[in-house]
Amino acid sequence: MKPTFPNDRYGYVPITRFTDFRWPNGARLALFVCLGIEDYTPDAGQTETLIAGTPAPDWVNRSWRDYGNRVGAFRLIDRLAGFGIKPAVLLNTAVYDTAPDLIAHARAAGAEMIGHGLTNSHSLAGMGPAGEAAYVGAVADRIEAEEGRRPGGWSSMWLAHTPTTLASLRGAGYRYLLDLHLDDRPVWLAAGDDRILALPYALELNDSSTVIGRHASAADFEWMIIDAFDEMRAASAQQPLVMSIVIHSFISGQPFRLRALTRALEHIACAGDAVWLATPAEIAAVIEEDPRRAP
């Protein structure tokens, strides 16, 4: 009997079925950190808010978000660098124009630029195939023009997809997606007549969904990271796994959250070479070298 899959993007491969290998430094657990560096159109489109219902012109929420690109992101980049972590910057390309000093700082720290739309006031939801293809292509074109190479990774604004998003991404040259967490391993997704690699993306170890969305405290978020890391490290003794953490410049860049995040990073650092602190590009390269390493 032909197996039934839950969707048309990937099949069912349980964690008990895997290809055994080690990450480049010999570790079993790879970890990457995503840093959202975003731009919002004032009083238009979708926005992240701290205080709901503020009427236009909404300078209160705008100032909170602007703090991230003026202060928070610089401190987060430097703090991550102190632990040997090069962030995967989820980049709204408008930031090239609105905060060029921040982009230069991220670039100097070796950050990987991940396509994340033009601004975070946009969404792929509702776009037709042609418009979507043009949109994700324009993001890749701008990053290539600024960085000298085309981005390998994409993360959708608001994690929104259309039925053609994966095919649009492959058509624009993206090779891996940071939006989904269906497994603790990279997973191949069908993308039209091609495929794209989904890297495990932290939907809950994510300061937007957890701290803002569910009102977790800074200490809650710290211990979520620590507990997840300890459990993942233990599980990775059996097979190679991937863990991610997602933070945003205007959320975890706030001083009291930065202090809590630092304690979590200190805990991770104690593992030494037992964890590979990588970028999404580095993780994807290992899988692309031997595609059988991902289900």
Find all residues with CB under 8 Å of 2, minimum gap 6, and list them. none
Find all residues with CB under 8 Å of 53, minimum gap 6, and list them. none
Find all residues with CB under 8 Å of 9, minimum gap 6, and list them. 166, 189, 190
The per-residue pLDDT for 6 is 59
Categorize the per-residue pLDDT at 53 as very low, low, confident or very high, splitting at 50, 70 and 90. confident
* Residue of 285, 270, 286, 269 lying closest to 84 (CA atoms): 269
Q: Which residue has the tokens 């590979």?
A: 276
Q: How far apart are CA 69 and CA 102, in angstroms?
A: 7
* Residue of 277, 243, 293 lying closest to 25 (CA atoms): 277
Residues in the chain: 295
Categorize the per-residue pLDDT at 7 as very low, low, confident or very high, splitting at 50, 70 and 90. confident
pLDDT above 80 (res 1): no
CB-based burial, 229-264: b 16+ in 10 Å, e otherwise: beebbeebeebbbbbbbbbbbbbbbbeebbebbbeb
Give 63's strand partners.
none
CB 67 within 8 A of CB 250: yes
Average per-residue pLDDT for the chain? 96
For residue 281, give both structure tokens: 């590009």
Task: Give the model confidence (pLDDT) of 208-261 as tens digits.
Answer: 999 999 999 999 999 999 999 999 999 999 999 999 999 999 999 999 999 999
Proportion of the chain in helix, strand, coil states, percent, rounded to 5: 40, 15, 45
HSE (side-chain half, CA atoms, 13 Å) at 274: 14
Percent of the residues in the chain that have a pLDDT greater than 70, as a whole number: 98
Q: What is the pTM of this model?
A: 0.96
CB 249 within 8 A of CB 73: yes
Give, in order, the Cα–Cα distances in Å from 94 to each of 86, 116, 148, 208, 254.
Answer: 21, 10, 17, 20, 22
DSSP class of 158:
G
The whole-number average pLDDT for the span 20-28 is 96
Lowest average pLDDT, out of 50-59, 226-235, 251-260, 283-292, goes to 50-59
Q: How would you write 78-91 as a 3-class SS string?
A: HHHHHCCCCCEEEE
For residue 234, give both structure tokens: 């233990």
Task: Give the model confidence (pLDDT) of 64-83 as tens digits.
Answer: 999 999 999 999 999 999 99
